[in-house]
Amino acid sequence: MEEIDRRIINRLQEGLPLVEAPYAAAAKELGISEEELLSRLRALLDSGVLSRFGPMFNPEALGGAFCLCAMAVPEEAYEEVAGMVNAFPEVAHNYRREHRFNMWFVLACETPGRIAQVLREIEERTGLPVLDLPKEREFYIGLRLCA
């Protein structure tokens, strides 16, 4: 990644200006043209460095329900169980972690009731218990990374 791409990411993680021509305003700060900024943003999205560009919503405000879940999966069955869990469209992301509880995923559903239902279905399908660890309070949600 070029230096200018890093600067673009670092600047635009802080937020896009709320003015009529926001890219032109940001480009000016970065010392490049609006066309260059737009084409670099497109390239960063295409290559997957940026997952998206725009708003990050508070899911609860949009009527959704979310829950972090964990499972202790026997190593020899990991791939198989991962396939079963990921087959549920409600599984938003799934990470392997180095611990006895080695599978961590987030359920994103339309309603809280649906969360409980999907949890039961995953337990039935995999034959393994699932810990549900709903969020009770956010203290900080920055997640700005220096590029």
Partner 1 sequence: MELTDPADLALVDALCAGLPLVPRPYRELGRPIGLGEEEVIARIRHLIEVGVIKRFGVVVRHHELGYNANAMTVWQVPEEEIDRLGRRLGAVPEISLCYRRRPAPPRWPYNLYCMIHGRDRQWVGEVLERITRECGLDRFPRQVLFSGRRFRQQGARYRLCAGGQ
- What residues between 36 and 75 interact with partner 1 by CB under 8 A? 38, 41-42, 44, 47-59, 61-64, 66, 68, 70
With both helix axes pointing from N to C terminus, report the angle between 112-126 and 78-86 in degrees, rounded to the nearest 10. Answer: 150
The answer to whether 147 and 10 are in contact (CB under 8 A) is: yes
Instruction: Select 70 or 122, whichever has its Cβ closest to partner 1.
Output: 70
Beta pairing class for 103-109 and 131-133? unpaired
Instruction: Select 82 or 122, whichever has its Cβ closest to partner 1.
Output: 82
Nearest-angstrom CA–CA distance, 100 and 133 = 16
CB of 39 to partner 1, least distance (A): 9
CB of 3 to partner 1, least distance (A): 14
Applying the rule CB under 8 A, the residues between 111 and 130 that interact with partner 1 are none
